[in-house]
Structure 1
Amino acid sequence: MSVSRQFAIVTGASTGIGLELAKCCAREGFDLLIAADEPEIDNAASEIRKTGVNVTAVQADLSTIEGVDKLYAAAAGRPVDALLANAGRGLGRAFLDQDFTRARFVIDTNITGTVYLVHRVGNDMRRRNAGKILITGSIAGFIPGSFQAVYNGTKAFLDSFSFALREELRDTNVTVTCLMPGATETKFFERADMMDTSVGVAEKDDAAEVAKTGFDAMMRGDGDVVSGMKNKIQSSVANILPAGMLARQHRKQAEPGSARS
């Protein structure tokens, strides 16, 4: 990697928003270290290298401490100018019907792995008093997620965590931005076993547009950004309506079989 360029780490970069975030970084001339828990990360690296930047790909299970350590070690001590913590998993169906191993994987990927990586890289940034952190939260974090209870709960954590960390770093030159998308056209709903739900088959936001919204906000140093007008309205309404009503509304979108109703 060329040390004259800025350097970014992007997780969950094999597909979807993560891949598009990595492309945003490449267009701005960042060298990249990208990671995901699947072999497709190598294909993503090959695609991004066509832009002329240096790209290192790491396949690692970012739900584990060992996987995050593997990613961190791959940076080889190079200062990280931007950390885009995007790795995440979803899971549909009623909580008590879910396999707990899969539910825990969602928690460990979305929360434990993300927080550990931010802790490691964030400490390096604070010591240098420079750096940008983008955390992919979700407007789902504002809504009790009936039939997505664990996933929405993890996003509520990440939204809250991002705001808190930003305040803690207010007097430094390290910025924290929370990207809060709505339903986006990715492999998320297929992987979450939600293709028989209303939200699973509905028209969704474009991943490239969502990523650009988040990337631009990170580069400006904004605290948070909700992508898309529809999602902005939904997040505003979620701050007003009672939690029970929001949970009932979410059920209509996420309950198995709702795609046929």
Structure 2
Amino acid sequence: MPANRYFAMVTGASTGIGLELARCCARAGFDLLIAADEPAIEAAADELRKLGVTVDSVHADLATLEGVDQLCAASRGRPVDALLANAGVGLGRAFLDQEFNRIRRVVDTNITGTLYLIHRIGSGMRQRNSGRILITGSIAGFMPGSFQAVYNGTKAFLDSFSFAIREELRGSGITVTCLMPGATETEFFRRADMMDTYVGTAKKDDAAEVARAGFEAMISGEGDVVTGLKNKIQSAVANVTPAAVLARQHRRMAEPGTARS
């Protein structure tokens, strides 16, 4: 892809992996439309413009269909050549201790809004027989997420969904790549109320390295990428480990009160 003539849409781009994905796109010469559900998206856009590309930003709630429509309208009809569907939220603690409005927001952001956006942008790509789609899944989708049950469930959905539509689009000129990182140094664990857990306080992967691996896999048209050797081993082991054992192991990482001293 001669990226200097292309246009990328990146969601969840105010911080973390999403911002780093947007940086990868900008350095490759993509013009950008970035979105997030917080005002910090404007500061991210200002920073990215310093890389010499055109950057538009949208502050929208991508957990809603209206927010996704707002984002799509901001493209002003310009064909999206690369969609990096990264927006997502987490939620820690036991399922019955969580407020249901927060549970629903995880599902609406990670699944409903993501599906709607991919459906809208992917339809335009299919008309042109060209495009790249990157979906941020997670190795969390490989294991039952005790004390993160809803989040892990949404990532299991996205991991599976990405492989399914990749096969449906095989030969169409559109590629679908699933980025499956492990725990990464972002605002995720603070926002998910997990700073009193082992995983919330343990050493994590670098967001820039995770994003670079995902971007390169997308450009190459790869189906999936698990970042980091430790995560590759963990995902391989998860495929042959009973679900009950995985759920017990996850409890030791995510149960409140397990934070590293």
Short-chain TM bin = over 0.9
* Partner amino acid, structure 2, of 1:245: V
Within 2, Cα distance between the matches of 1:5 and 1:41? Answer: 24
**Matches of residues 234-249 of structure 1 in structure 2 within 5 Å?**
234-249=234-249
Could you say what secondary structure the match of 2:259 adopts? helix
**Matches of residues 79-94 of structure 1 in structure 2 within 5 Å?**
79-94=79-94
Within 1, Cα distance between the matches of 2:188 and 2:259? Answer: 16
Structure 1 stretches (4+) deviating beyond 3 angstroms? Answer: none
* Partner amino acid, structure 2, of 1:56: D
**Matches of residues 113-192 of structure 1 in structure 2 within 5 Å?**
113-192=113-192
Q: Does 1:214 align with 2:189?
A: no
Q: 1:36-81, CA deviations, whole angstroms, 9 ceiling, x for partnerless residues?
A: 0000000000000000100000000000000000000000110111
Distance verdict in 2 for CA 1:220–1:260, change over 3 Å: closer
CA contact (8 A) 2:140 2:155 kept: yes
Could you say what secondary structure the match of 2:213 adopts? helix
1:260 Cα deviation (Å)?
5.2
Residue number in structure 1 paired with 2:49: 49
Within 2, Cα distance between the matches of 1:11 and 1:226? Answer: 20
Within 2, Cα distance between the matches of 1:52 and 1:27? Answer: 8
Could you say what secondary structure the match of 1:185 adopts? coil
For structure 1, which runs of at least 5 residues remain unmatched after alignment? none
1:5 Cα deviation (Å)?
2.4
Residue number in structure 2 paired with 1:204: 204
Could you say what secondary structure the match of 1:258 adopts? coil
Distance verdict in 2 for CA 1:165–1:62, change over 3 Å: same
Task: Provide the aligned C-alpha RMSD in A.
Answer: 1.1
* Partner amino acid, structure 1, of 2:144: P
Residue number in structure 2 paired with 1:103: 103
Given the two structures, how large is their TM-score scaled by the length of structure 1?
0.98
Within 1, Cα distance between the matches of 2:217 and 2:224? Answer: 7
1:171 Cα deviation (Å)?
1.8
Distance verdict in 2 for CA 1:260–1:51, change over 3 Å: closer
Q: How many residues align?
A: 259
Within 2, Cα distance between the matches of 1:62 and 1:172? Answer: 27
Residue number in structure 1 paired with 2:193: 193
Residue number in structure 2 paired with 1:64: 64
* Partner amino acid, structure 1, of 2:247: A
Given the two structures, how large is their TM-score scaled by the length of structure 2?
0.98
1:120 Cα deviation (Å)?
0.2
**Matches of residues 2-81 of structure 1 in structure 2 within 5 Å?**
5-81=5-81
CA contact (8 A) 2:201 2:260 kept: no
Within 1, Cα distance between the matches of 2:79 and 2:119? Answer: 14
Quote the sequence identity (%): 76
1:112 Cα deviation (Å)?
0.2
Q: 1:214-257, CA deviations, whole angstroms, 9 ceiling, x for partnerless residues?
A: 00000000000000000000000000000000000000000000
For structure 2, which runs of at least 5 residues remain unmatched after alignment? none
Within 1, Cα distance between the matches of 2:192 and 2:65? Answer: 23
